[in-house]
Amino acid sequence: MAFFQLLSTLPLFYKDVYRLDSTQIGLLLGFSGFVIVVFEMVLVHFVEHRFTVRQIMVWGTAITSIAYFMLNIDFGLIWLYMSMFILSTGEMLTLPFMATISIKRAGLHNQGAYMGFNSLAFAAANIVSPYLELT
């Protein structure tokens, strides 16, 4: 659920802790989208044939945790952009391969059910993760 904090609690963290205004927060989140659009397909193509899906998922999660750890150190706005770049990299490594895991575990006749459950879990995590952070 660490990835889903990106759209729920991370903007509040930027506002409350770093005292960023909504324009700066929007630019920071937009930077994440820009990084994903520019680099995701290249990165996925590079890693998918060189590493196992398990290795990619572990490294993507580790990279994401580094990005969140970076938020504890206040080196200014450039540091936040570096953290967002690293967070986006972890997301690019992890989220696309979740579907790969679902398809590989499914049989030939129930791939749709597995992908549907994968989408359901993704949507549920988006809904539940902000409430878990508040408790």
Per-residue pLDDT tens over the stretch 27-49 = 999 999 999 999 999 999 999 99
Nearest to 4 by CA among 84, 98, 104, 123: 123
Buried b (16+ CB within 10 A) or exposed e, 56-70: bbebbeebbeebbeb
**What amino acid is encoded at 65 in this protein?**
S
Straight-line distance from the first to the last Cα atom of the chain, in angstroms, rounded to the nearest whole number: 15
Q: Cα separation of 18 and 71, whole Å?
A: 10
Tens of pLDDT along 96-113?
Answer: 888 888 888 888 889 889
Domain ranges of the chain: 2-134
Share of the chain above pLDDT 70, in %: 92
**Whole-prediction pTM:** 0.84
